Structure 1
């Protein structure tokens, strides 16, 4: 067998130090272009592939950061696939006006966070490992990840507190989303409560002070709790008893929003429907359109998240746009800071959001 090339072979071929080879492969922007090209040419000529395990032994680092999400994609229910036995192998199938097979709208938030995290990890010379929690978080992917990465970013409340304590004793942990709870973890979040409060004041102005209905998501959502806080505080500040506000509950999917919208069409519309995420608001808009309801004339509708499809809905959806890509980038920045300064005080970063007013809430200019 051909001898496997080493970093020393690359350095010798390029006429540089092994430290320079490492910088080219991990943080290429820190190396002069001419030197970088010479090293990359040597890598290509020799067919060199860095050894993650060897580098980890030398640096006591893996060069890998972890991003852990709870189960969110409904893929557990997808039918089994075995392509090696010829299962579902063929050029195409034809369907007519097929309905979507599953509602994966919650993936939109995670997809953008993932994109931002991967970009920032790459820029800092790290590889990003992504884990999805399926099953009991006390025995699932996250424990295995903690033994393979230099640090973890986890979505708030996706892991029990006692498990977080155990993991953080091994690697640094950054909590993504949700409010700080007096712990010593680093946190990266957005101004959900403040933005929902301001959006609520806008809706009350459009409805002449009449109370909106509130479409909430799952009760254990940390973002949902912050949004409810901002909404309820603004309602009470306007002199409206919070007990008089109809609270409906979905599961953050478009289909649940459609179901609730259909129920409202059947039994009577509120002055406004404020949804704690865009997907449910879009589902309600579907039901209102099919039921002949005029938005915003008959009912004002708002969402939260700022996913792209809201800009082209009928009518375009008023929302709060989260900086989802920036959330992922910020989490990796904070985690990299923790690795370089393990004894520093906990960091708490709150990113600003944008309130985007569109026709679904504008009864008057």
Structure 2
């Protein structure tokens, strides 16, 4: 078997230093195009594959950043046999009442932002999801494979994050910083929901239903705080609160049972609001003529619903990017004080509550 080419072979063929080869492979946009093309041509010609182990030993780095999300999709029905690889074709009639609930557009957008920023900075991104008791084991495992870890708030116990942070930097997503020592990246939840609720009141609503999210969600707690702040001192408005779970299915279930209708239904996230719109359509209730509906997140599906969803747009892609930026800043200066970055939000008016 022929000897595997080394970084020295690539540098010699390209006529550059081994440092230039490393920069091209880690952060190609930081190198002049002519130099980059010479190095990449040498890599292709020689069949060179960088050794992650060698890089890690030399720099005490893996050049990998971890991103950990909770597993929200239902895996109860996934334990049976896999679909047979028969190559067949079947035809089914779609039942709108049984649509899948596995999509989480918020995570998709945050992930996209994290992947973009990691790539720009020369890092690979390792993504993991944990369910139930497996979360702690998975976090411990991924922490041993990465240079830094970004996690969604309340996904794992603070004690475990404190343990992990002794080895690598940790950034917490979707929660403002409290008394912990982690860097935090979040959005302006409370003022955003307050502004949305004030808009609903100005539109004439005098009875409101607020569909909240899970009780352990920091985002939901801050949004509920903003909702209540908008109503502070306004005794003329009737208010009811029902606890949801951020899913479209639960939003639909709640809305199908609402009687009598309030003037407006304010939802803690867009998925819930889209479920409410589903139910209103099924009940032949006009939105916004009979009831106004609002959401929070700004996912793309809200632009294509009927009617289009009024919402508070949060910069989900930028949230993912900011988490990676916070980690790389911590790599450069491990001793700096813990920071909390709060990104702005925007109230977006559409037909569901114009």
Correspondence for 1:322: 314
Q: Deviations over 1:6-30 (max 9, x none)?
A: 1111111111111100000111122
- 3-state DSSP of counterpart to 1:131: strand
Distance 1:231 1:319 in 2: 14
Distance 1:80 1:56 in 2: 40
C-alpha displacement of 1:46? 0.5
Correspondence for 1:251: 245
Counterpart check, 1:344 vs 2:333 = no
C-alpha displacement of 1:138? 5.8
Correspondence for 2:195: 198
Change (3 A) 1:185 1:308: same
Distance 1:164 1:212 in 2: 39
Alignment of 1:125-274 (within 5 A): 125-136=122-133, 139-208=136-205, 210-239=206-235, 245-264=239-258, 267-274=259-266
Distance 2:76 2:27 in 1: 37
- For structure 2, which runs of at least 5 residues remain unmatched after alignment? none
Distance 1:40 1:240 in 2: 69
Alignment of 1:33-72 (within 5 A): 33-72=33-72
Distance 1:237 1:110 in 2: 36
Q: Which moved more, 1:224-233 or 1:73-82?
A: 73-82
Q: Which moved more, 1:246-255 or 1:45-54?
A: 246-255
Counterpart check, 1:289 vs 2:281 = yes
- 3-state DSSP of counterpart to 1:77: coil
Q: Normalising by the residue count of structure 2, what TM-score does the alignment of the two structures yield?
A: 0.96
Correspondence for 1:104: 102
Q: Deviations over 1:312-345 (max 9, x none)?
A: 2121110011111111001000100001100011
Q: Deviations over 1:26-48 (max 9, x none)?
A: 11122111111000000000011
C-alpha displacement of 1:111? 0.7
Alpha carbons 1:138, 1:163 under 8 Å: kept: no
- 3-state DSSP of counterpart to 2:185: strand
C-alpha displacement of 1:357? 0.7
Alpha carbons 1:227, 1:276 under 8 Å: kept: yes
Distance 2:136 2:267 in 1: 34
Distance 1:358 1:5 in 2: 59
Distance 2:94 2:63 in 1: 47
Alpha carbons 1:146, 1:171 under 8 Å: kept: yes
Aligned residues: 353
Q: Deviations over 1:123-182 (max 9, x none)?
A: 100000001012315643111000000000000010101111111111100000022112
Distance 1:249 1:213 in 2: 11
